[in-house]
Chain A
């Protein structure tokens, strides 16, 4: 059974050049040997020149002791939320580039949200994607989730999983917003992304699972630790049992042993999967929970997420009364 990293990013050269040609965010500006990323509402961020070098990234797999890494669109760029005529050439270029990498890299497909239809999901899956990634902003309320419903139904029909990644939905676009000045680089990753993921997780708990009973979904970055709010959720009358959903997974990106262990306490170890978020952050060799938990996070749980291997067909017994 392979060691799998379910969450990495890679920007192919052609995709980088398309971003560099744009006049409006998301765009890239030359910055010495590398690039600077400019997004609406975020501080400008440097992009180190080696971050998306295909040879170096392949070498990093061995360093991380990972056999397979799944690449996904960097949804905070907001590419999926652009008008379709702007989004599609960028997404096509990205898919072409990641498909050209060697077989140790798989990928999550991405679609233009503007006018998206189930056939778009079928198209990325037919072209080799293992599942679909959506920006959390496309799912961050019951209403948004309902609008994305046909895409989720297409995934269910194909028995393919969903990755929920931080990033804006159509309603979140801030065209013309000035770059955020005076904010530290890490600000969006702490002040915005966890909140987006929490809202998407809450929406999925509120109405998503009811409408998509077989969908396997993985939230990046422990869903912003949303399940740790289960007691508060119960106290306010929310569906706290969502923390025990065996088909809702969480990747570990950027979190360490204390947060991962806190999630183990609430959700159990069986729904946690290793996701590194490379090259945004480095990859831990393990999560400090011991060998059995390591095997669960790197091998057993990703296989269940991706392949639908049903290890525990009935997690909840009928009540013993």
Chain B
């Protein structure tokens, strides 16, 4: 169990446990769900010195692009629909897993991944970051195969960066 007043940052395992338990309490977030075909809808549910929690609503074609979380580890629980998580490999191939309602996953600050809507119908996910997300790296895979990292404030909505 996570102490509600943890006076420290949480580990990826603790974050995954947290979002799993939050997923089981829809009365705490279901009223914030809304969908927009143009872009993912973000709702910040919790923010304190050590933890930030978002509800994210997905529709078809919504895609974060490849990114990292700089200094924050994180965890995701899928509470409606499904999303893919892709990991970027150096040889250009992608490792994909599909996560459905009731499933959770976590990632370290250094991991580079991409999350995108999967399947039919809207999806809803819960995301927890510790320490609260501050900056991110968004990755661009250029046509010649080289990789570029763009430093972003967490306030910037992640989008796929097109090949130049």
Seen from chain A, the residues whose Cβ lies within 8 Å of a Cβ on chain B are 230, 234, 240-241, 243-244, 261, 264-266, 268-270, 289-293, 296, 312, 314-321
Check B25 against A320 for contact (C-beta < 8 Å): yes
Q: In the complex, how many angstroms separate the beta carbon of A261 from the nearest chain B beta carbon?
A: 7
Bound CA–CA A152/B63 (angstroms)? 46
Of B1, B49, B155, the contact of A269 (CB 8 Å cutoff): B155
Contacts of B4 in A (CB 8 A): 319-321
Interface presence of B157 (CB below 8 A): yes
Check A293 against B49 for contact (C-beta < 8 Å): no
Of A289, A315, A318, A320, the contact of B47 (CB 8 Å cutoff): A315
Starting from the known contacts A234-B7, A265-B132, 10 additional A-B residue pairs (CB-CB under 8 Å) come to A230-B49, A234-B49, A241-B49, A261-B153, A289-B156, A293-B155, A318-B28, A320-B21, A320-B22, A320-B25
Query: Nearest residue in B to A268 (C-beta to C-beta)?
Result: B47
Bound CA–CA A222/B43 (angstroms)? 25
Interface presence of B148 (CB below 8 A): no
The size class of the interface chain B forms with chain A is: 20 to 34
Q: In the complex, how many angstroms separate the beta carbon of B28 from the nearest chain A beta carbon?
A: 5
Bound CA–CA A265/B52 (angstroms)? 11
Interface presence of B46 (CB below 8 A): yes
Interface presence of B152 (CB below 8 A): yes
Check B152 against A290 for contact (C-beta < 8 Å): yes
Check B46 against A317 for contact (C-beta < 8 Å): yes
Bound CA–CA A293/B134 (angstroms)? 12
Check B28 against A264 for contact (C-beta < 8 Å): no
Interface presence of B2 (CB below 8 A): yes
Bound CA–CA A290/B4 (angstroms)? 33
Check A269 against B154 for contact (C-beta < 8 Å): yes
Of A243, A291, A318, A320, the contact of B49 (CB 8 Å cutoff): A243
Check B153 against A317 for contact (C-beta < 8 Å): no
Check A316 against B49 for contact (C-beta < 8 Å): no
Check A241 against B48 for contact (C-beta < 8 Å): yes
Query: Nearest residue in A to B7 (C-beta to C-beta)?
Result: A234
Within 8 A of A (CB), among B7-59: 7, 18, 21-22, 25, 28-29, 43-49, 52-53
Q: In the complex, how many angstroms separate the beta carbon of B160 from the nearest chain A beta carbon?
A: 16
Within 8 A of A (CB), among B123-164: 132, 134-135, 152-157
Of B2, B48, B52, B155, the contact of A292 (CB 8 Å cutoff): B155
Contacts of B156 in A (CB 8 A): 289-293
Contacts of A319 in B (CB 8 A): 4-5
Of A261, A264, A316, A321, the contact of B46 (CB 8 Å cutoff): A316
Contacts of B43 in A (CB 8 A): 312
Bound CA–CA A314/B28 (angstroms)? 10
Contacts of A268 in B (CB 8 A): 44, 47, 52, 132
Check B53 against A317 for contact (C-beta < 8 Å): yes
Check B153 against A269 for contact (C-beta < 8 Å): yes
- A289-B155, A292-B155, A319-B4 known; A240-B49 Cβ under 8 A: yes
Check B153 against A315 for contact (C-beta < 8 Å): no
Q: In the complex, how many angstroms separate the beta carbon of B33 from the nearest chain A beta carbon?
A: 14
Q: In the complex, how many angstroms separate the beta carbon of B136 from the nearest chain A beta carbon?
A: 11
Most buried by A among B7, B53, B132, B157: B132
Sampled A-B contacts (29; CB under 8 Å): A230-B49, A234-B7, A241-B48, A241-B49, A244-B49, A264-B134, A264-B155, A265-B134, A269-B153, A269-B155, A270-B44, A289-B153, A289-B155, A289-B156, A290-B152, A290-B153, A290-B156, A292-B153, A292-B156, A293-B155, A315-B44, A315-B45, A315-B46, A317-B28, A317-B29, A317-B45, A319-B5, A320-B25, A321-B4
Q: In the complex, how many angstroms separate the beta carbon of B104 from the nearest chain A beta carbon?
A: 14
Query: Nearest residue in A to B52 (C-beta to C-beta)?
Result: A268
Contacts of A270 in B (CB 8 A): 44
Contacts of A289 in B (CB 8 A): 153, 155-156
